Structure 1
Amino acid sequence: MSGAKPMLGDKVVIVTGAGSGIGRAAAQVFAEEGARVALFDRDAESNEETRELIGDSARAWTCDVSDEASVAAAVADVIDAFGRLDGAFNNAGIEMANKLVADLDAADWSRMMGINLTGVFLCMKYQTRAMQGTGGAIVNNSSGDGIIGAPYASDYVAAKHGVIGLTRAAACEARYTGVRVNAVLPGLILTPMVEERLLGNPAFEAQVAPMVERHSIGRFGQPEEVGQAACWLLSDRASFVNGALLTVDGGYTAR
């Protein structure tokens, strides 16, 4: 792509859950495409590692997306540091509790909703305020499970369905806010969380081969592949894209 204009040239973009996995890979993609990146993660050490990987175009903030005061303060700090905000990738999330509905604790449910759904709402609230009328863009990380069901994952599936509803509703407000809102829906992506906590879980061993088979490309995805999709949605090349659900799932939900 020699000579090509960077997709995010000089834009200021927040990435939540930037300390590892999809968030880290996306932040690196955004920086390579010219963005100045504000890294949010509740794990300060891993977030700083991401900042070091990217270099001078990134700054790191310790932020708990499930806590409104933490989100409000971090977004305000970004404005102070960079002077503006142009986009955000709301990626922070946790995996399912791996329990049947009958066995799911209310505490498991509340934790999932607090991070994977309420966390997206809180980030969008303050990001939209910061970008009001500027032509900014938000991309939310939902999941292929946001449009289908899955056993042992009712908490995760419900939260990711909620992210899609929130994305679509906020997209309908673009005429008032000037902010485009879209979502990416990844399939199974080979992040440390997936490899260590899910694929490394003996309870899932028998399900791995069928899951690979359902991804009709014949493999699981890589974190940077989701980052590339989010990058395009945040860029001016997607200026007429609003309320879209972009599956990045190797054909997982096509069946």
Structure 2
Amino acid sequence: MTAANGRDRLVADYIPAGHRTEKTALICHGFMNRKETMGAYAAMFHQMDYNVLIPDARAHGQSTGKLIGYGWPERQDQRLWIRRIIRHNGKNSKIVMFGVSMGGATTMMTSGLNLPPQVKCFIEDCGYSSVLNELSYEAGARYHLPAFVTVQFETAMSLYNRVLNGFYLRQASSTEALHHNYRPMLFIHGSRDDFVPTRMVYQNYHATRGPRELWIVPGAKHASSYQTKPHQYQQHVKAFVNRYVR
């Protein structure tokens, strides 16, 4: 499929359920990962009798492109994948969108778009509140840059990104996108996440306008909630989707 920018070619794996079903999970991977790294999550949904679609984001895996948009331009690609699912499986499709880390942010950013009614709910795992907030955190917490240097860094990065990617970093906000979401959203975050700090999930949780649930996974670090509590993870996801996908 051609990306929303009209240039890049996107590749995805589609795994049909064992029997005909209208339910499909659209799964988004994280930064510098690829569709194959989402196998455990794909298996989880497949065991719940969902079709599964896992795209490689732009500039990842088999998809083409040189620029990574941290979820912001990619949200437009996800809307195209949603339309593709509906064309393939019919107007009675029931779609769950799920993502981890950058994929979680992509999921939240997509939720703010005008989407077809076939999209029933979203699940995000450890996505950041905004690209700018995440970069600022990394600059300060990991590299111990003083505040004035961090501000200069953010400004330079934002201008550079505007030239290359077509948007200022401040625009790429999960929190702002969630202000336009009225569909159900499950938020998952590890209590010991020191890459996307756990506090960000509370900003996102309070921003969404639809039904919402929050699960802080005790002891889990970044993108490791499923590995930390696999049985409970499956239970939370299954209970959530069963409420909204019928």
TM class by shorter-chain length? 0.3 to 0.5
Relative to total residues, which structure has the larger helix share, 1 or 2? 1
TM-score of the aligned structures, taking structure 2 as reference length: 0.46
Q: Which has the higher contact order (CA 8 A, sep 6+)?
A: 1
